[in-house]
Structure formats: C-alpha cells, structure tokens
A and B are shown apart, each in its own frame.
Chain A
Amino acid sequence: MSEMKKIKNLKEFSTSADRFEGANLLCPGCAHSIIVREVLNATNDDLVLAASTGCLEVCTAVYPYTSWDASWIHIGFENGSTAVAGAEAMYKALKNKGRLKQPDRNPKFVAFGGDGASYDIGFQWISGCMERGHNMMYVVLDNEVYANTGGQRSSSTPIGASATTTPAGRVSYGETKNKKDMMSIMAAHHIPYAAQVAPNKWKDMVKKIQHGMEVDGPVFINAVSPCTTEWKFDPKDTMHITDLATDSLVFPLYEIIDGHELNITYRPKNVVPVEEYLAAQGRFKHLFKDEYKYLIKEWQERVDANWAYLNRREEARV
C-alpha cells in the first residue's frame, strides 16, 4: 500500500497537485471543479479516471484540449462506472501476467458522474460495479439536476425545486417527489465504504477520500455540488450555498462502513433553518408564496426527521 498523502493546510492543499487544470469550460462558480480537484489532490497515487456524459465531461475534454493530466476516459452517459471497472480488471490481469509497464505503481480507479448519470440512467451500471466488488471509487457530483442538458429534473432533484421538466407554474410548485436516497441504496450493496461529502468541508472530504482510496473494494461518494446556473445563485456564492447545505443539515455529512456502521462526521455548531438554504436559491423562489409556505415547513420536518434517523443509526452502532 502506498504512503498516504499528508496535507497541512488549505493553501498547500489547493496547489498540491495539478492533475485537473483550471483551464476548463465549467461555469464560473461551478462546484464540480472544486470537488474534482479535492478528490485528485487528496492523493499522490497514479489515477485512472472516468467521467460520464455531463457538465464535467463536456467542459474538460474538448478536442484538441484536455484539462486532465491523468489517464481519463469517457464512454457515455451511463457507463463511466463500468469503464473504470473494465480498466481495473485489465490492471489486475496485466499485473498477474507481469505485463504492467510500471509494475511498482499502485493506481487508484475513480469514476465521476452527475446525479443524472448516477441516480438515474447509470444506476444499474453502478450497482453492478458495487456488487462485483471492483477496487474503485464512484463519485457523484450531486447538483440535483441534469445541468448539462439545461436543467431537467433528476431523481435527485428535491421536492419543490423548479426544473425545466418539473417547472413551477400557476398550478405547480415544481418537483413533487422526494430525492432518492442513494446512500442507503449503495450501502445496501454492503460495500466497504460510502460517504457524503461537501466541498466546503474539505478536511472531512480529504479524510473520506483518503480512506476510500485505501480500502479494498468499491467505494461510493456522494458530493453535494451547488450549480450556480440551475440553482440560480451568484457564482461568488458557491461556498456560501454549500455552507448553508451542510449547516442546515439538508445535506448531512456522514459515512457508512461495510454497509451498516454509520458515523456522522460533521455536526454544525449552529444549525441553520432550512428556510435560509431555500431562500438563497432561485430554484425555490416560488416556495415563498403564501400558498406554498407549508412546503417549507414540511421541508424542515423532513430534514429534522432524517437527522434524527441518522443519529439513531449512529447511536445504535449496528
């Protein structure tokens, strides 16, 4: 096993590896690029990366340019996970046969996908990869919407968000379904590690990514990725919005080990009301009309209930 990278502070961390260039076409303020850099910078190991079709892919590998200074592959919208699984299988085969060009290297295999690519169309492929136990990490850039195609709902889009296929209108408050609980579903594959991370809590994220890269077997990471364009906030506010997401507990940070042992990894000192999180984003603007105020109350109740559930799971130590 290779030496784990030591990171002293944010300044050093942010410049400690440049395998993902700032030269890319992502929107200013896009959290995808921050998350990707945090994942890549958490390790000095060689990397074999994949991305599913989506904002990250179309903005970082536009021929004849590439933002990636590590081996990277894109196949399609649904199969980024399996691309990495195939590469990992080839690595094993060539290692056993003594045919690796650099046999002393210990590469990590990581696939990135949007929530659309992961919660929806690529769901089966990810499930297959997790079940088969590939030594790989799957990272969801969870911006709760199909951003690349202009803001259609995904099964990660939360209740009340206005998306182009579930728009708020005269008789609609937008998305009517609850966000899919991918963490539970993935943990139910009894994989060694699953975790939710957020780019603002970078130390927590580095710890989880490093842990994930060291375990043997499939790892699932769900990263909240505020999207300035579809969530409708000012590009300078990405980290502010992320703070609201984690501190309101709308996006709680926790990990699940071996499919059952749940640890909450961040407990905000001052929990922010959900209303503040919603109010900061254009996609929820209509919820502040009188007739939809009850939805904000329901939102808070749902978040509270989920937090209580996570705490019970943690306490139970099962």
Chain B
Amino acid sequence: MAFDKMELRDIEVWDGNFAAAQALRQCQIDVVSAYPITPSTPIVEGYAKFLADNYIEGEFVMVESEHAAMSGCIGASAAGGRVATATSSQGFALMVETLYQASGMRLPIVLNVVNRALAAPLNVNGDHSDMYLGRDSGWIQLDAYSPQEAYDLNFIAFRVAEDHDVRLPCMVHQDGFMTSHTAQGVKTMDDDTAYSFVGDFKPMNDMLDFEHPVTHGVQTEEDWHFEHKARQHNDLMTKVMPKIQTAFDDFEKLTGRKYNIVEKYDMEDADIAVVCMGTSVETAREVAKEMRGKGVKAGVVGLRVIRPFPFFEVQEALKDVKAIAALDRSSPNGAPGMLFNELAGALYNTDTKALLSGYVYGLGGRDLTKKHLTDLYSELQANVDAGKVLTPLQQFIGVRGPKLQFL
C-alpha cells in the first residue's frame, strides 16, 4: 500500500477526539465529508492531517455545511466505500434530515457525535440533547465513556454497520469536552491488527459497478413505504444486537478489552441502581463504591447501546432492584426524560416492582458531582425504605434558584 504505517506505543496519551481520529485512520476510511463544529472538529482535522502526512489514502471533502457533509457521505457510501464523519449539536441538528435518508437507504456510514447542548441559549459544552435528537433516525447508537472507548467503539461501529446483514449507519457518541478534550492513556492496536478487525470494505449495490447499475433512494407511497420502514425497524431491533455482541466478543479476544451491551457495576445484589450514559457512568461507579462502604447496596447500569434500545439486557440488569433512578442529560421539554420513559417502557411488563424516578442533570456542561450522586442514592434508599417514591417523578440536579421538579 502506498501510505505509511504509523508506529504507536502500546499506550498513547490521547483525548477522545484524537482517539476517534486514530481509529478512522486505522480503518482506512475512503471518504470523509465534513464540516467543523466544537467540540468534534479535531476528529476530522485529525483525518485531514493524517491524509496530509500520508498516513492514509482517501478523499477529504470539506463541504459547506453539516447537511452537505452527510449528503456527501451518502453519495460516497452509495458509491461503495468506507465513509465516516463527525459532528456535534447544531451541526447534528442540521444533519437530521439526511440521517433519516442515510438509514433509509441502508448505508453503513459511521458518524462520531461528540455530544453537546442544543441552542438556544448557545452553549458549546457537553450534554446529551443532540444524542436524543438522533434516537428515532434509524441509526445504531453506541456510547463511549472515555477516550479508550471512543477509540475501541469506532472499530465496533464499522464492523457492525458494514455487515451485509445489517447495513445500517452507526453513531459513536462521546461526551463533549469531558471525553473529547480530556487526554488519558489509551491502549492502542498496531495498524495491521486494527485494520484486520474491520477488514476490507465489501461493497453492496455500489453505484460504481457499471455492470450492475443501481437505483438508490426511490419513491414509495402507501403501497410500499410501510414495508420498507417496518423491515428497517425490524432489522434494527432483531439483527443488530447479536452482531454487536459478536463484535464485542471478537474485540475482547483481540484486545482483552471487554464491552457489554449494558454495563453492570455492582448489580449482583443491588437494591438501588442509577442508570446513565457517558462520563456520568464512571462518577456513578465511584459513588456506588463509597455507598457500599456505608452498607447501601448501590449499583450502576450504563447503557453502551442506545439504539436499538437494549430492552432485554436492561430488564435483566434491573430485575431484582427496589429503586431506580434514570439520569437524563437532556432537557426533556414537555415529558419525563428519554431514559426515564424508555426504562418505564422496558420494565412495565416485567415482574419488577422497582420504584422509578427521573433526574435531569448536567445540561450545558454543568458538572455532576459525587455529592449530587450521594444525595441521589440516599433518596433512592429512602424510597426503598418508604416503599414509594417520596419525591416528584422528575427533578433537576444542581440547578440554581428555587427547586425545579414536576409530576
């Protein structure tokens, strides 16, 4: 091959953005079509620099907007090669129309979403508003809690998305700044090992096969639209989880690093559990450990896969607990948070009698402190002791001014 290999140390100090960029390099992305936005910009800058330094062979198309970025990715992917891009927040919002188009056309694009709040008010910091905005768009959504995971999950993403049984695009999420701009030790794979995990891109119905011309992106009305959408939804619900599990298993064999669809921490005998995503998982684990020291049977459930929603894994993880807190890092605007709603949906027809309450935290980059979580665990324990939820269903953690809560 014409490009140069890069020598990596076994452990490199990378932030989440650079870790993701390195993964794109090692997967040898054919086309990146991108538009910058804080805090995800360094991912595509990284790809461009690798290209400039001949560590990669491919095309970088610096388009004029995020909508065009995903449009370019769609055209490139339909042409039959490996495609990725990155975005955040408003850029993600501008992309939304094309997200549906990409998934409806069954194109295995990988999108790194560095999570950030949605304006107004304008805010560049991390929360999960954009992540939730993507949740119905037909994409697979994986969540990384650290730079290491941002690196690893990109390989998983390509493996699953490009599987010919799946052919659905995949997002890899990480928390804006907290993960994207925080450097940590990242265990690396050498270039050949990394590439061998994703393998060569295997085109399907590609527009550049002139012996077999294809029509992409047709019109369907009531006679076919339902079948297409139902099939897409069915495939997402039934085919993706087993493929993710296999990819996790293979990845563990290759690297020793183990991922789970739902990450359980101290859940074997837990009475109370916090369910959350992103960097808050690590904080919650710390606090749960301390609560254990005080005799409180606390556990943490971290979602690794957001779409498809891991119903069975969540049911299994929470089947024996007595109280659950759903932590939503987005403003639900008119309803309890997404995680609260989804947990309620997942648990309703099970035998669990767990008390469920919802908490909104960390909007616009606001810290979630250990103290917040200690108080939260105490509230859950109080709910258990009282046998009912003592607080309103939805509360806001750490917001200034009069206490905000509802339902």
Which residues of A approach B to under 8 Å, CB–CB? 46, 48, 50, 57-58, 61-64, 66, 68-76, 78-79, 82-94, 96-97, 99-102, 105, 107, 124-125, 127-128, 131-132
What is the distance, in angstroms, from B158's C-beta to the closest C-beta of chain A? 16
For the complex, give the distance between the alpha carbons of A82 and B79 in Å. Answer: 13
What is the distance, in angstroms, from A136's C-beta to the closest C-beta of chain B? 10
The answer on a CB contact under 8 Å between B210 and A89 is no
| 17 A-B interface contacts by CB (under 8 A) | A61-B215, A66-B215, A73-B217, A75-B98, A82-B63, A83-B71, A83-B74, A85-B75, A86-B71, A86-B75, A90-B76, A90-B80, A92-B59, A94-B81, A96-B2, A102-B208, A124-B65
The answer on a CB contact under 8 Å between A107 and B217 is no
The answer on a CB contact under 8 Å between A79 and B57 is no
The answer on a CB contact under 8 Å between B63 and A73 is no
Residues of A near B42 (CB, < 8 A) are: none
Given that A79-B68, A84-B75, A102-B210 are known contacts, is A62 also in contact with B80, CB under 8 Å in the complex? Answer: no
The answer on a CB contact under 8 Å between B64 and A125 is yes
The answer on a CB contact under 8 Å between A68 and B64 is no
Which 7 residue pairs across A and B have the least CB separation, nearest first? Answer: A86-B75, A79-B71, A90-B79, A71-B207, A128-B64, A86-B72, A83-B75
The answer on a CB contact under 8 Å between B71 and A125 is yes
Given that A86-B61, A128-B63, A132-B63 are known contacts, is A76 also in contact with B71, CB under 8 Å in the complex? Answer: yes
Which residues of B approach A to under 8 Å, CB–CB? 2, 30-31, 33, 57-59, 61-65, 67-68, 71-81, 83, 97-98, 101, 105, 203, 206-211, 213-221, 224, 228
Q: Which of B30, B61, B97, B216 contacts A73 (CB 8 A)?
A: B216
The answer on a CB contact under 8 Å between B31 and A93 is yes
Given that A76-B71, A101-B209 are known contacts, is A86 also in contact with B76, CB under 8 Å in the complex? Answer: yes
Identify which of B73, B203, B216 gathers the most chain A CB atoms within 10 Å of its CB: B216
Given that A72-B215, A124-B64 are known contacts, is A89 also in contact with B76, CB under 8 Å in the complex? Answer: yes
For the complex, give the distance between the alpha carbons of A73 and B218 in Å. Answer: 8
For the complex, give the distance between the alpha carbons of A88 and B308 in Å. Answer: 32
The answer on a CB contact under 8 Å between B208 and A73 is no
The answer on a CB contact under 8 Å between B75 and A82 is yes
Given that A90-B31, A105-B210 are known contacts, is A63 also in contact with B220, CB under 8 Å in the complex? Answer: yes
Residues of A near B210 (CB, < 8 A) are: 46, 71, 101-102, 105, 107
Q: Which of B2, B64, B75 contacts A87 (CB 8 A)?
A: B75
For the complex, give the distance between the alpha carbons of A91 and B81 in Å. Answer: 9
The answer on a CB contact under 8 Å between B33 and A61 is no
Having A76-B97, A82-B63, A101-B210, one finds 14 other A-B pairs with CB under 8 Å, namely: A61-B217, A62-B220, A73-B75, A73-B217, A74-B216, A75-B98, A79-B67, A82-B75, A90-B83, A107-B210, A124-B65, A125-B68, A128-B63, A132-B61
Residues of B near A101 (CB, < 8 A) are: 203, 206, 208-211
The answer on a CB contact under 8 Å between B76 and A71 is no
For the complex, give the distance between the alpha carbons of A250 and B68 in Å. Answer: 34
Task: For B211, give the chain A residue with the smallest CB separation.
Answer: A102
Identify which of A46, A73, A84, A92 gathers the most chain B CB atoms within 10 Å of its CB: A73
Q: Is the interface of A mostly helix, strand, loop or mixed?
A: mixed
What is the distance, in angstroms, from A94's C-beta to the closest C-beta of chain B? 6
The answer on a CB contact under 8 Å between A89 and B218 is no
For the complex, give the distance between the alpha carbons of A92 and B32 in Å. Answer: 13
For the complex, give the distance between the alpha carbons of A146 and B210 in Å. Answer: 33
Residues of B near A92 (CB, < 8 A) are: 59
The answer on a CB contact under 8 Å between A75 and B57 is no
What is the distance, in angstroms, from B103's C-beta to the closest C-beta of chain A? 12
Q: Which of A76, A94, A132 contacts B208 (CB 8 A)?
A: A94
What is the distance, in angstroms, from B193's C-beta to the closest C-beta of chain A? 20
The answer on a CB contact under 8 Å between A87 and B211 is no
What is the distance, in angstroms, from B139's C-beta to the closest C-beta of chain A? 16
Residues of B near A100 (CB, < 8 A) are: 208
For the complex, give the distance between the alpha carbons of A86 and B228 in Å. Answer: 25
Residues of A near B71 (CB, < 8 A) are: 75-76, 79, 82-83, 86, 125
Q: Which of A61, A68, A73, A102 contacts B78 (CB 8 A)?
A: A73
Task: For B200, give the chain A residue with the smallest CB separation.
Answer: A99
Task: For A68, give the chain B residue with the smallest CB separation.
Answer: B215
For the complex, give the distance between the alpha carbons of A131 and B81 in Å. Answer: 24
Task: For B81, give the chain A residue with the smallest CB separation.
Answer: A90
For the complex, give the distance between the alpha carbons of A99 and B68 in Å. Answer: 25
Residues of A near B221 (CB, < 8 A) are: 62
Q: Which of B68, B80, B101, B218 contacts A61 (CB 8 A)?
A: B218
Q: Which of B31, B33, B62, B217 contacts A75 (CB 8 A)?
A: B217
Task: For B203, give the chain A residue with the smallest CB separation.
Answer: A101
For the complex, give the distance between the alpha carbons of A87 and B107 in Å. Answer: 13
The answer on a CB contact under 8 Å between A62 and B63 is no
The answer on a CB contact under 8 Å between B64 and A50 is no
Residues of B near A105 (CB, < 8 A) are: 210
The answer on a CB contact under 8 Å between A94 and B30 is yes
The answer on a CB contact under 8 Å between B30 and A97 is yes
For the complex, give the distance between the alpha carbons of A82 and B73 in Å. Answer: 9
What is the distance, in angstroms, from B108's C-beta to the closest C-beta of chain A? 13
Identify which of B75, B101, B221 gathers the most chain A CB atoms within 10 Å of its CB: B75
Task: For B216, give the chain A residue with the smallest CB separation.
Answer: A73
Identify which of A86, A96, A131 gathers the most chain B CB atoms within 10 Å of its CB: A86
What is the distance, in angstroms, from B289's C-beta to the closest C-beta of chain A? 48
Residues of A near B73 (CB, < 8 A) are: 86
For the complex, give the distance between the alpha carbons of A48 and B363 in Å. Answer: 45
Residues of A near B74 (CB, < 8 A) are: 73, 75, 79, 83, 86
The answer on a CB contact under 8 Å between B33 and A89 is yes
Given that A71-B214, A74-B218 are known contacts, is A89 also in contact with B98, CB under 8 Å in the complex? Answer: no
